[in-house]
Amino acid sequence: MATTPGLDLTADAVTLTRQLCDIESVSHNEQEIADAVEIALRALPHLAVGRRGNTVVARTDLGRPSRVVIAGHLDTVPVNANFPTRLDEGLGILWGLGTCDMKGGDAVILRLAATVTAPVHDLTFVLYECEEIDSKYNGLRLLSESDPHLLEADFAVLMEPSNAVVEAGCQGTLRVDVRTRGERAHSARSWRGVNAIHGASDVLHRLNAFEARKPVIDGLEYHEGLNAVGISGGVAGNVIPDECVVTVNYRFAPDRSEEEALAFVTAFFDPYDVTLTDTAPGALPGLDRPAAKAFIDAVGGEVNPKFGWTDVARFTALGVPAVNFGPGDPMLAHKQDEHVPVEQIQRCEDQLRAWLTSGAEKGSGE
């Protein structure tokens, strides 16, 4: 029986990132890495550690007047000839699956959990499963339903890759199936039927003509996207298909609700059948919240909009102000050449440690 590789929380954050990345943890396969994280955290006497599925939660209980959640997901997208990691010491770059999205951030979380024993806030560290797939499996969502008290806080930091600067809010996301209908016929007598796959050309034409909306919210410009991400149809090699399904992903700015986003997509593809298959809300930047302003000031003052969806939206729904802040370029997430500058891992750790151990409580509970 194989043993779970150990994690050395006394190692530097770059070494710890490699240890995490070299445990394969594609979505639904997080048990090994969750075991390693749980074992490492249970060895720390200042933390109370619990587990729900393959989601691990560690908390301090120091009686501080405010609490901060720091969270990151343990899963990755599928391996793409980019596992295990390799370190280019000359360039200062760590390559490999999960280095950017988001085990560099997870390593920072674990380092903070191990070394920040007298923070100015009480701390909750959450390392969770199944972020990269349908939201029904998302460990943070499941935790918010089973144990919402574990996510109660005055502020939250989600360590999604953000080039080590704050990314505020996030766009919402939904997927729909757009169906075109036809009539079956023998392909030798195709004129006796109606080809539903050919009919999908109009759906694709509309997508090609889509002009992205770019609303400005709290001084940040968001950029929407509407794209086909899959297509299926056909019943046999000699049959004209009577149905074709184009799967479409809409990334909508956070000034639109899920209901408004679905209404837009339904109208956009009228008169075709549109079936919703997955949805998650966006999150407004919330830069007017004192907690967010205090954190942004503490880590350099730079802030960008978040174009992708992240679990910041879940914290927002719980009434907890939250930001994205982690090492790695989000443009490299899910790419074969995924990598992270080691300097960003180290800088995120240093800045968060300074914030958690200095006078950063100003604003985090106002």
- Alpha helices by DSSP H, listed for the chain, are 13-21, 31-42, 104-115, 139-146, 196-209, 258-268, 290-298, 312-317, 342-357
Run of H or E residues at 305: strand 303-305
C-alpha span between 308 and 254 (Å, rounded): 11
C-alpha span between 90 and 238 (Å, rounded): 58
Residues labelled as active-site residues: 75, 131
Q: What's the burial of 359, exposed, middle or buried (CB within 10 Å: 0-12/13-18/19+)?
A: exposed
Strand order of the β-sheet with 55-59 is 48-52, 55-59, 122-128, 67-73, 155-158, 322-324, 166-168, 303-305
Residue 25 phi/psi, 5-degree rounding, is -145, 50
Kindly give, in sequence order, each residue whose CB lies less than 8 Å from that of residue 245, ignoring residues fewer than 6 positions away. 177, 178, 179, 230, 231, 232, 233
| Two structure tokens written together for 225 | 């996207």
C-alpha span between 129 and 148 (Å, rounded): 16
C-alpha span between 252 and 249 (Å, rounded): 10
Neighbours of 64 (CB within 10 A): 18
Smallest CA-to-CA distance from 26 within 80, 70, 106 is with 80
